[in-house]
């Protein structure tokens, strides 16, 4: 069970001082390009007519880049009131509101695409999130997600509690690393079909909370770029990309 009070407190505090925007623009673009490969025909069949929601949108950094690349009707929902308010201020063209993604305020079959941008790993059990995504999706709609990969060596070293270099800075107590098997199994269990899980690398960071981590960040980003062009990226890439379709 997710401790929602800690999620709210963490992101309210963060967004009071600055926007939550940790990846480089190129990092966001690489994730979105992978999304577009998965939904290419779906998007091209309905140009400009899709309703897309980012559940757990934070301050909207990912949502804004996606809208720039795919000009459709975008929405965002986040548990942090301050994050949602800042997102709305930074991008008035996107419809933002605060709320719980496990109990959405939207009617059944409202959206064509549901996004989870770095959100599922904030839940010990994210079946409820996926069931809500399934409920608010139109038939033939799809869900897309990205989360840190437990098999990536640097993610494990920095973010796994059993690592000697583990850092809690810049993360909530609810967060954990995920495997492709966990994402695939949860999507299939909650009713999605044609499920795809891929590992993706070359996704660079522009900010992390740890002072020591920031010193090593250029080396990490270089490793990311090199891993992204190697065959090892398909298994050890830093992020897991998930896709599922509502039959």
The residue whose two tokens read 């059990």 is 125
**Is pLDDT above 70 for 242?**
yes
**Is pLDDT above 80 for 25?**
yes
C-beta of residue 246 within 8 angstroms of C-beta of residue 142: yes
Average the pLDDT over 144-152 and give the result: 97
The fold adopted by the segment(s) 4-246 is: Rossmann fold (3.40.50)
Q: Please give the structure tokens belonging to residue 78.
A: 């986040």
Q: Give pLDDT, residue 5.
A: 87
Q: Give pLDDT, residue 73.
A: 95
Q: Give pLDDT, residue 211.
A: 86
**Residues 224, 102: Cα–Cα separation, whole Å:** 33
Neighbours of 167 (CB within 10 A): 16
* C-alpha pair distances (Å), 11 with each of 20, 37, 58, 138: 8, 31, 8, 30
- Write out pLDDT tens, residues 182-193: 999 999 999 999
C-beta of residue 159 within 8 angstroms of C-beta of residue 177: yes
C-beta of residue 208 within 8 angstroms of C-beta of residue 214: yes
- Write out pLDDT tens, residues 61-112: 999 999 999 989 999 999 999 999 999 999 999 999 999 999 999 999 999 9
Average the pLDDT over 7-31 and give the result: 88
Among the ranges given (67-76, 140-149, 153-162, 210-219), the one the predictor scored with the smallest mean pLDDT: 210-219
Q: Which residue has the higher pLDDT, 173 or 87?
A: 87
Give percent of the chain above pLDDT 90: 77
Mean pLDDT score across all residues of the chain? 92
Q: What is the strand order of the sheet 137-148 is part of?
A: 95-98, 73-78, 51-55, 111-117, 137-148, 239-246, 192-200
**Residues 31, 36: Cα–Cα separation, whole Å:** 9
């Amino acid at each position: 069970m997710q401790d929602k009070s800690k999620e709210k407190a963490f992101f309210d505090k963060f967004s009071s001082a600055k926007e939550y925007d940790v990846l480089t623009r190129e990092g966001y673009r690489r994730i979105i390009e992978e999304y577009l490969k998965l939904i290419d025909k779906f998007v091209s069949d309905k140009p400009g007519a899709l309703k897309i929601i980012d559940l757990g949108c934070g301050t909207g950094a990912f949502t804004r880049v996606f809208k720039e690349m795919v000009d459709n009707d975008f929405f965002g929902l986040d548990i942090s009131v301050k994050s949602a308010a800042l997102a709305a201020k930074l991008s008035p063209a996107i419809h933002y509101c605060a709320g719980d993604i496990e109990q959405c305020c939207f009617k059944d079959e409202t959206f064509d695409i549901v996004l989870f941008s770095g959100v599922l790993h904030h839940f010990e059990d994210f079946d409820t999130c996926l069931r809500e995504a399934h409920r608010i999706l139109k038939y033939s709609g799809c869900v897309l997600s990205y989360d840190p990969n437990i098999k990536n060596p640097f993610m494990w070293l920095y973010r796994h509690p059993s690592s000697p270099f583990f850092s809690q800075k810049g993360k909530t107590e609810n967060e954990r690393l995920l495997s492709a098997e966990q994402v695939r199994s949860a999507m299939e269990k909650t009713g999605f079909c044609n499920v795809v899980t891929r590992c993706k690398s070359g996704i660079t960071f522009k900010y992390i909370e740890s002072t020591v981590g920031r010193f090593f960040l250029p080396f990490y980003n270089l490793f990311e770029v090199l891993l992204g062009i190697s065959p090892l990226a398909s298994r050890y890439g830093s992020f897991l990309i998930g896709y599922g379709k509502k039959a």
